[in-house]
Structure 1
């Protein structure tokens, strides 16, 4: 997930990008329950913002106008509670973000892409958490056939696993971008080349990932190893002992 070159100027150094990220994740001190340890940093140029929600956390980029990742904790009890919460599709721009950094509803209109949840509405164990999951700060432009097909199956299989796991299951979800990403809407929201999901079962220390091309067509539901995910993405999201 290397920072793309947008043609607007030199990419910031890794040290400076890390400074942005370290400053941003201090905001996660308000919601440590969503992480299996310390919130991971992402070396990424420009503005980052840590956003805490009831059911998940999002590290948000004002450059891409998408999350860089979301993080959440699933348990048997939370999965069971989520089953009884009715879904109401009320998407909204995130008012906690500066106006210049926000994705807007108009950006997705006529774009050909779905507003793809990173932390799924189906995971949310309360009315408030489910409503918050429709923030555009939890969305990326996602190909409809992926969002409504294979990606939905991945979300369902993750919930099923969490419902029978021996301990909490932590989930990171995010986008991967090409060096020169396409954009949608007047706000130029970046379109991911891939979307991914990392699942960490804390009860037995297992971790795996899904890596999907953000296009229509057939997608593999076969997970990859966490080590392979690190190699593909350049991200280290879990404690070092997990491989």
Structure 2
């Protein structure tokens, strides 16, 4: 009986240490204002909290939905740099596969050839390259965009499929791109630090043989600080079928998301100015 109890305790400990992505954002909490992630209203049934690590550094944080195979949101600091957009090769997250000691995003082929995983093992809890091939009218839409990052490695780190959703092509290259590339630089004038959370509301349809959810909405929220003091905040939201972006206050965005998710959403723990 004692032996059985010890086995149960050991099994529990092994599960708790199974992978850092399922527990908390402690290692990358600095990408959230006041080190506090959004509240649980956004959490899916089968979440993975990913500290997006590349080349031995953390670059942003992602809450990932294993069942729908899309990110719920990615959180990052807005720090655009002059480095060019990197080549578009795509990475996946080995920590979503199961028990292993791999802590960094890498390519499918590296996992298959060097670490002896099968493609089916990779596909079980995340999207793969094949899921985005041949999609009509949809792009691989970044939540944490490379254009908002400074430095080659951080830009490369945004090209992981755990940071990507099926986004309407016209929206992705139209009004959403304008928001990312024109509106954000304007709104962040005077900000010494800007925390951003960009997310996707799960939709009712799927792509790639019902493997990957097509979000109904894309949204983004920003918290602007001047010398560590909250200065202003704002939000944006777009239906993932129309080339239109609505800009609104953080408070109004949280109300809209609360209706869409069916629970009260708080993005910055009520700690950022909602002017």
Normalization by structure 2: what TM-score? 0.71
1:86, CA displacement in angstroms?
4.0
C-alpha distance in 2 between matches for 1:153 and 1:166: 20
Moved more, 115-124 or 164-173: 164-173
Separation in 1, partners of 2:47, 2:187: 30
Deviations along 1:46-85, whole A, 9 cap, x unmatched?
22111112331101111211111110112xxx32xx2124
1:176, 1:215 → 2: CA distance? 13
User: 2:21·2:50 contact (CA, 8 Å) conserved in 1?
Assistant: no
Q: Does 1:199 align with 2:196?
A: no
Q: CA deviation at 1:111?
A: 2.1
The runs of 5 or more residues in structure 2 that have no matched partner are 1-19, 53-57, 98-121, 259-264
Match of 1:224 in 2: 248
Whether contact under 8 Å (1:85, 1:125) holds in the other structure is no
Instruction: State the aligned residue count.
Output: 212
Alpha carbons 1:117, 1:133 under 8 Å: kept: yes
Equivalent residue of 1:31, what SS?
A: helix
Q: Look up the match of 1:172.
A: 197
Tell me how far apart the structure 1 counterparts of residues 84 and 30 of structure 2 sit (CA, whole Å). 21
Residue 25 of structure 1 deviates from its aligned partner by 7.2
Q: Secondary structure at the match of 1:55?
A: strand
Query: Could you tell me which of 65, 74, 77 is aligned with 1:73?
Result: 77
1:185 alignment partner, one of 208, 230, 255: 208
For 2:238, the equivalent position in structure 1 comes to 212
Residue 57 in structure 1 maps to residue 47 in structure 2:
no
In the TM superposition, residue 130 of structure 1 has moved relative to its aligned partner by 1.3
Q: Within 5 A, what are the aligned runs for 1:6-85?
A: 26-37=23-34, 38-43=36-41, 44-53=43-52, 54-74=58-78, 78-79=79-80, 82-85=81-84
CA contact (8 A) 2:21 2:48 kept: yes
**Distance of aligned partners of 1:46 and 1:239 in 2 relative to their CA distance in 1, 3 Å threshold:** closer
Name which of 128, 149, 152 aligns with 2:177.
152
Question: What is the deviation of 1:140?
Answer: 0.6
1:159 deviates by 4.3
Question: Structure 1's 158 and 51: CA in aligned 2 closer, same or farther, altered over 3 A?
Answer: farther
CA apart distance, 1:225 = 1.3
Structure 1: gaps (5+ residues):
1-22
Q: 1:233 to 1:164 in 2, by over 3 A?
A: same
Instruction: Please give the TM-score of this superposition, normalised by the length of structure 1.
Output: 0.79
Q: CA RMSD in A?
A: 2.1
Offset at 1:94?
A: 2.3
Tell me if structure 2 keeps the 8 A contact 1:162–1:168. Answer: no
Corresponding position of 2:102: none
Q: How far off its partner does 1:151 sit?
A: 0.9
2:188–2:224 contact (8 Å) kept in structure 1: no
